[in-house]
Amino acid sequence: MSFFSIMSKVLNLSLIYASFRAATPIIYAALCASVTQQANILNIGTEGIMLIGAFTAVTVSYFTGSWILGVLCAMLAGVVIALIMAVGHIKFGADICGIGMGINMLALAITKFLLKAIYDVNGAFSSPQIKVIPKVSIPFLDNVPVIGTLLNNWSLTEWFAIILIIVLQFFIFKTVWGLRLRAVGQFPEAAKTAGIKVNAVKYRAMAISGLIGGLAGAHLSLGYSSQFIENMTSSRGFMGVAAMYFGGANPVKASIGCLLFGFADSIGARLQAYGLPSQFVLMMPYIVTIVVLAISMAAQLRSAKRRQSSLN
């Protein structure tokens, strides 16, 4: 088969949805990291918050039979974890990278432990009793050719990701809360002299980040899949952080970065059918993330250099 015929099979309409679908967990993670980054807190614990959210969602959904409760409890769990980080960092002076990595280890260990303690399984848990987040099917779209393929049967949380991007963009850049958040992140002393309670703003940002991170996890285990697997986030949280860097903590720009990772992911998956080893497929999003991150940072440096030059 020629290169072009492979490419034409790989690059088709459903690739767009596949890219977006692969990107949504990372988009949630990037939003989770962006909110705190606006307050100048690098949320390296995104990965852990997500993982705990994912486990909580599956567990609650399994025992109550309600995906809504699952999602809500996941978000609550996310807030708890985020606040542990916040207290450690803000009140007790913990290095944010240190405590963030600690949270990630904790998430990995405690979900593994609970998987064994609650379900007596190792590695993964799935059951038909887990109620998943429903898909939105719009009957009349079935008959519309392009849009039908593209938009129908999205999971609810996939739609919600788009809403959340817009809502966060609005809140960060158009509201009092957002203005204060940005002021605290960029120049806390200035915010303090303006009478803003800097730490309260930071705690709030962390709590919101926890909500989003928990939702990210719930989406991963109840929307994107329907089970819990040990370490199922597999660095998506870190990719979210990378995307946050890429977008300069701007929700819309960070999400565009995530789509890039999702694109790499789904292209790889398709190429696997044509003999590309699975390991290469799996490592593709990580490499793309690193490359994109490097390019975006280099571009930022370049534009700063140009602005500072004496020759223009």
Partner 1 sequence: MSEYVVEMKDIIKTFGQVQAVKNGQFNLRKGEIHSLIGENGAGKSTMMKLLYGMYPINSGEIIIKGERMGEITPMMAIERGIGMVHQEFMLVSELTVLENIILGFEPRKGLRLDLDKARADVRKYIEEYQMDVQLDKRISQISVGEAQRVEIIKTLMRGADVIILDEPTAVLTPQEAERLFEILENLKSSGKSIVFISHKLNEVMQISDRISVMRQGQYMGTVNKSETSPLDLTKRMIGREVFLNIEKDYGKVGEKILDVQDVWVSSNKETSKIRGMSLSVRAGEIVGVAGIDGNGQSELVEAITGLRKVEKGKVIVCGKDVTNKSVKVIRGAGMAHIPEDRNRMGLDRAMSIRDNLVTVRVDEAPFSKHGILQLSAQDAYSEQMVKEFDIRPTDYHLPTSSLSGGNAQKVVVAREVSMKKQLLIASQPTRGVDIGAIEQIRNTLEKAKKEGSGVLLVSAELEEIISLSDRIIVIHEGKITGEMMASEANENNLGLLMMGGAKGGAEHA
Partner 2 sequence: MKSVKDGIVRILLTMVLALLIGAVLILAIGENPISAYRALLKGAFVGKLSLGTTLASFTPLLLTSMAFVVAAQAGAFNVGVEGEVFLGGITAAYIGYQWDFLPAPLLMIACFAGAMVVTALWAFIPAWLKAYYNVSEVCTTILMNSVALYITSYLVSGPMSAGSANPQSPPVLVKLKQFMRPSSVNVGIFLAIAVVLLVIFMLYRTSMGYKFRLVGTNPAFADFTGINSKHVFIKAMMVSGMIGGIAGTIEVLGVYGYFLNNFATGLGSNGMLAALIVKSNVVATPFMAFFLAVLKSGAMGMQQATGVPKGLVDTITAVFIIIATMETLFDFLKRRKSDETKIELKDFGVSASSANSAAAGTDGKRPADQKGGKS
* First and final C-alpha spacing in the chain: 53
Q: Is residue 251 a contact point for partner 2 (CB under 8 A)?
A: no
Q: Considering only the stretches 160-168, 203-211, 216-224, 235-243, report the one whose residues sit in contact with partner 2 under the rule CB under 8 A.
A: 235-243
The residue length of the chain stands at: 312
140 binds, among partner 2, partner 1, none (CB under 5 to 8 A by kind): none
Q: Considering only the stretches 5-13, 70-78, 103-111, 263-271, report the one whose residues sit in contact with partner 2 under the rule CB under 8 A.
A: 103-111
Considering CB under 8 A, how many residues would be counted as binding partner 2? 57
User: Closest by alpha carbon to 170, among 181, 158, 156?
Assistant: 181
135 binds, among partner 1, partner 2, none (CB under 5 to 8 A by kind): none
Nearer to partner 1, 143 or 309 (CB): 309
Interface residue list for partner 1 (CB under 8 A): 171, 174-176, 179-180, 182-183, 186-187, 189-196, 305, 307-311
Residues between 32 and 71 that touch partner 2 (CB under 8 A): 37, 40-42, 44
Cβ count within 10 A of residue 134: 12
37 binds, among partner 1, partner 2, none (CB under 5 to 8 A by kind): partner 2
CA distance readout (Å), 91 to 38, 87, 202, 300? 19, 5, 11, 33
DSSP secondary-structure letter at 132? P
User: Closest by alpha carbon to 181, among 209, 160, 213, 162?
Assistant: 209
* CA angle (181 as vertex; 74, 211 as ends), nearest 5: 5
Distance (Å, rounded) from C-alpha 143 to C-alpha 27? Answer: 30
Cβ count within 10 A of residue 225: 17
Residues that bind partner 2 (CB under 8 A): 37, 40-42, 44, 84, 88, 91-99, 101-103, 105-106, 108-110, 112-113, 115-117, 185-187, 189-190, 234-235, 238-239, 241-242, 245, 248-249, 277, 279-280, 282-283, 286-287, 289-290, 293-294, 297-298, 301
